[in-house]
């Protein structure tokens, strides 16, 4: 397929013996042989177009902080893209981090323009590091900070898995980096002769990793005999509110979807101190509700009456959001929040194509030679699915997310 001067072919990663296994969270870059099939060389940034520097929290690796900001930029871009096709009364619930993680694993096998598009769409090219292989090291460090819980009442777990056709040989470099950095071990399945049994096996694995909150992620017919690889990322979170809503505070009340529509739902009430800000010029209010342990919080953005949510969405960017969050202060607040649960599932293929990730989904243009051992460049992603579950109650908050892509 196409080649450009931006790509370098690198040596294969040596097999890791049991004696070489190390704690990824304490590892240094030189401890990890992160050498994917191809590497993207980022051009030197234009100093006139550079973002204003924001100091990273201490003690955080500056590049890990940049990856976190890149994930945030992608999250807002994807959210805006999703909002364009949703009706005003429909919900959007997703985990952009789950999607970014899955495509970072896909990037391991990508070359040429496919690799370049992944770097740009997911904002990985904004990280001040010349080579794309270091992104996997930064993802490892970011995941260590996210998933090593600080409070025993909080459960935050991410699980990754590769399901590959057992008749094929997968690149050892691809397998080793996927398992070492992302914990994504390859499970061989028989896609060629029994894709339906493979679908059930994958759905059962997803259900198990999300405590049965997410089931039947892959619909019937999603896999066929041409399926080569299914890449799955799941995130499951369950936390207790630091400030629980009293049980006797539950009441039926009106919830206003917009100025012309409302519905009666169960609402929870409490009055206590939260981080809060009334941004009158922006016509929004911000509320931060911590979970027990204070290392994870939920931020609610509430448009003022008469100010459509769509206008908030259109004007929101990462710098504005950071500015809003920085203005929040501890304040005694009367809080009324809906008690609800919501599920959402959708294909991301069209949305990501509209954002510029086109080659990866085309059999004619995709370049994924780093996935199979023989270097075959005939693979492409047929679709990318996302399914999420959210439940908010008076004592706890739970969400489960699953993302997977099918490689043909």
Q: Is 220 helix (H, G, I), strand (E, B) or coil?
A: coil
Q: Using CA atoms, how far apart are residues 278 and 281, in angstroms rounded to an integer?
A: 9
Report the SS3 class of residue 83.
Answer: helix
pLDDT at 47 over 70: no
pLDDT digits (tens, 9 = 90+) for 379-405: 999 989 898 888 888 787 777 878 778
What's the whole-number average pLDDT of the chain? 84
Residue-wise pLDDT tens digits, 126-139: 888 766 778 888 89
Q: Is residue 273 very low, low, confident or very high in pLDDT (cuts 50, 70, 90)?
A: very high
Could you tell me which residues are beta bridge partners of residue 389? 343, 400
Please report the pLDDT score of residue 117 as a whole number. Answer: 97
Model confidence at 372: pLDDT above 90: yes
Is the CB of residue 224 less than 8 Å from the CB of residue 271? no
Strand partners, 264: 254
Residue 54's pLDDT band, with cuts at 50, 70 and 90, is low
C-alpha–C-alpha distance, residues 196 and 225, integer Å: 9
- Tell me the domains of the chain and their CATH numbers: 62-240+341-407 (3.30.497.10), 250-338 (2.30.39.10)
What pLDDT is recorded for position 341? Answer: 82
pLDDT, tens digit (0-9, with 9 covering 90-100), for 307-348: 888 889 888 998 999 999 999 999 999 999 888 888 888 889
Residue 400: DSSP 8-state: E
Q: What is the mean pLDDT of residues 102-115?
A: 94
| Residue-wise pLDDT tens digits, 16-35 | 333 344 577 777 777 777 77
With 50 as the cut, is the pLDDT of residue 42 above it?
A: yes
- When pLDDT is cut at 50, 70 and 90, the band that residue 58 belongs to is low
Q: What is the pTM of this model?
A: 0.86
């Amino acid at each position: 397929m196409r080649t450009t001067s931006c790509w370098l072919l690198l040596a294969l990663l040596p097999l890791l013996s049991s004696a070489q296994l190390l704690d990824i969270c304490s590892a240094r870059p030189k401890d990890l042989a992160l050498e994917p099939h191809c590497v993207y060389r980022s051009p030197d940034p234009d100093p006139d177009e550079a973002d204003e520097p924001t100091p990273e929290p201490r003690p955080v690796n500056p590049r890990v902080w940049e990856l976190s900001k890149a994930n945030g930029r992608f999250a807002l871009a994807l959210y805006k893209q999703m909002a364009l096709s949703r009706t005003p009364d429909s919900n959007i619930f997703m985990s952009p981090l789950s999607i970014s993680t899955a495509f970072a694993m896909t990037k391991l096998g990508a070359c040429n323009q496919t690799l370049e598009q992944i770097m740009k769409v997911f904002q990985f090219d904004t990280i001040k590091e010349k080579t794309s292989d270091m992104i996997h090291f930064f993802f490892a460090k970011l995941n260590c900070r996210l998933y090593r819980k600080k409070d025993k009442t909080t459960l935050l777990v991410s699980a990754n898995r590769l399901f590959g056709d057992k008749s094929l040989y997968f690149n050892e470099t691809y397998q080793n980096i996927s398992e070492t950095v992302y914990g994504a071990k390859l499970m061989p399945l028989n896609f060629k002769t029994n894709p339906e049994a493979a679908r059930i096996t994958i759905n059962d694995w997803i259900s198990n990793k999300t405590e049965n909150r997410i089931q039947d992620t892959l619909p019937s017919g999603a896999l066929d005999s041409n399926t080569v690889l299914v890449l799955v990322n799941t995130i499951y979170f369950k936390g207790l509110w630091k400030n629980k809503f009293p049980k006797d505070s539950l009441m039926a009340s009106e919830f206003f979807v917009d100025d012309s529509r409302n519905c009666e739902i169960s609402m929870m009430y409490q009055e206590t101190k939260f981080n809060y800000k009334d941004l009158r010029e922006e016509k929004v209010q911000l509320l931060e509700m911590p979970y027990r342990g204070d290392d994870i919080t939920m931020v609610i953005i509430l448009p003022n009456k008469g100010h459509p949510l769509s206008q908030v969405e259109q004007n929101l960017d990462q710098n504005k959001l950071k500015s809003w969050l920085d203005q929040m202060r501890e304040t005694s607040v009367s809080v009324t929040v809906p008690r609800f649960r919501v599920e959402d599932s959708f294909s991301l293929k069209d949305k990501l194509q509209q954002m510029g990730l086109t080659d990866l989904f085309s059999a004619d243009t995709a370049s994924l030679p780093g996935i199979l051992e023989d270097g075959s460049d005939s693979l492409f992603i047929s679709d990318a699915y996302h399914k999420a579950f959210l439940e908010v109650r008076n004592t706890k908050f739970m969400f489960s997310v699953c993302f997977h892509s099918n490689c043909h």
